[in-house]
Protein backbone atom coordinates (compact mmCIF):
# COMPACT_ATOMS: atom_id res chain seq x y z
CA UNK A 1 0.00 0.00 0.00
CA UNK A 2 1.25 3.43 -0.91
CA UNK A 3 0.97 5.89 1.93
CA UNK A 4 -0.09 9.39 1.05
CA UNK A 5 2.70 11.90 1.34
CA UNK A 6 0.25 14.39 2.75
CA UNK A 7 -0.72 11.93 5.45
CA UNK A 8 2.86 11.68 6.60
CA UNK A 9 3.38 15.41 6.40
CA UNK A 10 0.24 16.06 8.41
CA UNK A 11 1.43 13.73 11.16
CA UNK A 12 4.84 15.39 11.22
CA UNK A 13 3.15 18.80 11.40
CA UNK A 14 0.93 17.65 14.26
CA UNK A 15 3.84 16.20 16.19
CA UNK A 16 5.85 19.36 15.65
CA UNK A 17 2.96 21.53 16.77
CA UNK A 18 2.50 19.34 19.85
CA UNK A 19 6.17 19.47 20.58
CA UNK A 20 6.27 23.24 20.33
CA UNK A 21 3.15 23.41 22.47
CA UNK A 22 2.73 24.17 26.14
CA UNK A 23 4.87 21.56 27.88
CA UNK A 24 8.03 21.95 25.84
CA UNK A 25 7.89 25.56 24.72
CA UNK A 26 10.39 26.72 27.32
CA UNK A 27 12.86 23.91 26.56
CA UNK A 28 12.66 24.75 22.90
CA UNK A 29 13.27 28.45 23.53
CA UNK A 30 16.18 27.70 25.86
CA UNK A 31 17.78 25.48 23.28
CA UNK A 32 17.36 28.01 20.48
CA UNK A 33 18.79 30.70 22.71
CA UNK A 34 21.79 28.55 23.65
CA UNK A 35 22.44 27.67 20.00
CA UNK A 36 22.19 31.34 19.03
CA UNK A 37 24.59 32.37 21.74
CA UNK A 38 27.10 29.72 20.71
CA UNK A 39 26.84 30.81 17.09
CA UNK A 40 27.28 34.43 18.12
CA UNK A 41 30.45 33.61 20.04
CA UNK A 42 31.84 31.69 17.05
CA UNK A 43 30.83 33.98 14.20
CA UNK A 44 30.21 37.45 15.57
CA UNK A 45 32.17 38.09 18.76
CA UNK A 46 35.48 38.67 16.96
CA UNK A 47 34.11 41.93 15.62
CA UNK A 48 31.13 42.80 17.80
CA UNK A 49 32.72 41.62 21.06
CA UNK A 50 31.65 38.83 23.42
CA UNK A 51 29.26 41.25 25.10
CA UNK A 52 28.06 42.41 21.64
CA UNK A 53 28.90 46.02 22.37
CA UNK A 54 31.13 46.45 19.34
CA UNK A 55 34.65 46.04 20.70
CA UNK A 56 35.75 42.64 19.42
CA UNK A 57 39.41 41.78 18.95
CA UNK A 58 39.48 42.64 15.24
CA UNK A 59 37.23 45.71 15.52
CA UNK A 60 40.12 48.18 15.38
CA UNK A 61 41.22 46.78 12.01
CA UNK A 62 37.92 47.56 10.32
CA UNK A 63 37.05 50.73 8.44
CA UNK A 64 33.57 50.84 9.92
CA UNK A 65 33.15 50.23 13.63
CA UNK A 66 31.03 47.12 14.31
CA UNK A 67 27.64 48.10 15.72
CA UNK A 68 26.71 47.80 19.39
CA UNK A 69 24.19 44.98 19.07
CA UNK A 70 22.65 45.52 22.51
CA UNK A 71 21.12 48.83 21.39
CA UNK A 72 19.15 47.69 18.35
CA UNK A 73 15.75 48.09 20.01
CA UNK A 74 16.67 51.31 21.76
CA UNK A 75 17.80 52.77 18.43
CA UNK A 76 14.47 51.81 16.92
CA UNK A 77 12.10 53.49 19.39
CA UNK A 78 12.05 50.51 21.71
CA UNK A 79 10.99 47.82 19.28
CA UNK A 80 13.34 45.21 17.85
CA UNK A 81 13.71 45.88 14.09
CA UNK A 82 13.34 42.23 13.13
CA UNK A 83 13.17 42.50 9.34
CA UNK A 84 16.05 44.97 9.04
CA UNK A 85 18.26 42.90 11.33
CA UNK A 86 17.40 39.70 9.53
CA UNK A 87 18.30 41.23 6.17
CA UNK A 88 21.48 42.81 7.56
CA UNK A 89 22.73 39.48 8.91
CA UNK A 90 21.72 37.60 5.75
CA UNK A 91 23.33 40.29 3.61
CA UNK A 92 22.48 38.79 0.25
CA UNK A 93 19.92 41.49 -0.55
CA UNK A 94 22.13 44.27 0.79
CA UNK A 95 23.70 45.86 -2.26
CA UNK A 96 25.64 48.25 -0.04
CA UNK A 97 25.76 51.99 -0.62
CA UNK A 98 29.44 51.84 -1.52
CA UNK A 99 29.55 48.42 -3.10
CA UNK A 100 31.14 46.67 -0.12
CA UNK A 101 30.58 46.17 3.57
CA UNK A 102 32.74 45.11 6.48
CA UNK A 103 30.09 42.73 7.72
CA UNK A 104 30.38 39.24 6.18
CA UNK A 105 27.44 38.03 4.06
CA UNK A 106 26.18 35.36 6.47
CA UNK A 107 23.36 34.21 4.21
CA UNK A 108 25.99 33.03 1.74
CA UNK A 109 28.33 31.62 4.43
CA UNK A 110 25.57 29.61 6.07
CA UNK A 111 24.48 28.16 2.75
CA UNK A 112 27.86 26.54 2.08
CA UNK A 113 27.79 22.78 2.37
CA UNK A 114 24.08 22.55 3.19
CA UNK A 115 21.86 19.95 1.48
CA UNK A 116 20.31 21.37 -1.70
CA UNK A 117 17.34 19.00 -2.05
CA UNK A 118 13.87 20.50 -1.83
CA UNK A 119 14.93 23.97 -0.78
CA UNK A 120 16.60 22.53 2.32
CA UNK A 121 19.57 24.85 2.20
CA UNK A 122 17.41 27.95 2.55
CA UNK A 123 15.70 26.39 5.58
CA UNK A 124 19.07 25.78 7.16
CA UNK A 125 20.16 29.36 6.47
CA UNK A 126 16.91 30.70 7.92
CA UNK A 127 17.28 28.55 11.03
CA UNK A 128 20.79 29.78 11.68
CA UNK A 129 19.88 33.44 11.24
CA UNK A 130 16.76 33.07 13.39
CA UNK A 131 18.81 31.45 16.16
CA UNK A 132 21.07 34.49 16.15
CA UNK A 133 18.10 36.85 16.20
CA UNK A 134 16.55 35.07 19.18
CA UNK A 135 19.85 35.55 20.99
CA UNK A 136 20.18 39.20 19.93
CA UNK A 137 16.64 39.93 21.09
CA UNK A 138 17.49 38.47 24.48
CA UNK A 139 20.43 40.86 25.01
CA UNK A 140 18.68 44.14 24.17
CA UNK A 141 19.16 46.78 26.87
In Å, what is the CA distance from 49 to each residue of 7, 33, 119?
47, 18, 33
Q: Is 102 in the site for ligand HEC (CB under 6 A)?
A: yes
The smaller minimum CB distance to ligand HEC, of residues 88 and 121, is found at: 88
- One residue of 82, 87, 101, 111 binding ligand HEC per CB under 6 A: 101
- For ligand HEC, how many residues bind (rule: CB under 6 A)? 20
Q: Which residues contact 106 (CB under 8 A, 6 or more apart)?
A: 43, 89, 90, 91, 128, 129
**Residue 133 to residue 78: CA distance in whole angstroms:** 16
Which is nearer to ligand HEC, 10 or 57 (by Cβ)? 57
Angstrom distance (rounded) from CA 92 to CA 114: 17
What does the alpha-carbon distance between residue 89 and residue 67 come to, in Å, rounded to a whole number?
A: 12
The residue from 37, 49, 90, 103 that contacts ligand HEC (CB under 6 A) is: 103
Of 13-32, binders to ligand HEC (CB under 6 A) are none
Binds ligand HEC by CB under 6 A, chosen from 64, 79, 93, 123: 64
Q: Which of 33, 35, 55, 67 binds ligand HEC (CB under 6 A)?
A: 67
Distance CA 96, CA 114 (A): 26
Q: Does 52 bind ligand HEC (CB under 6 A)?
A: no
Quick one: which of 49, 66, 90, 107 contacts ligand HEC (CB under 6 A)? 66
Burial of 70: CB neighbours in 10 Å, binned 0-12, 13-18, 19+:
middle
Kindly list the residues in this chain that would bind ligand HEC in the complex (CB under 6 A): 43-44, 46-48, 62, 64, 66-67, 69, 72, 85, 88-89, 101-104, 106, 132
Amino acid sequence: MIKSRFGTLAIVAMLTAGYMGAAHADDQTDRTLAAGKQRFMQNCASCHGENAKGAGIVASHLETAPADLTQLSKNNNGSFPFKTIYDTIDGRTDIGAHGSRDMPVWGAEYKLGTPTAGGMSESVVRGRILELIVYLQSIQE
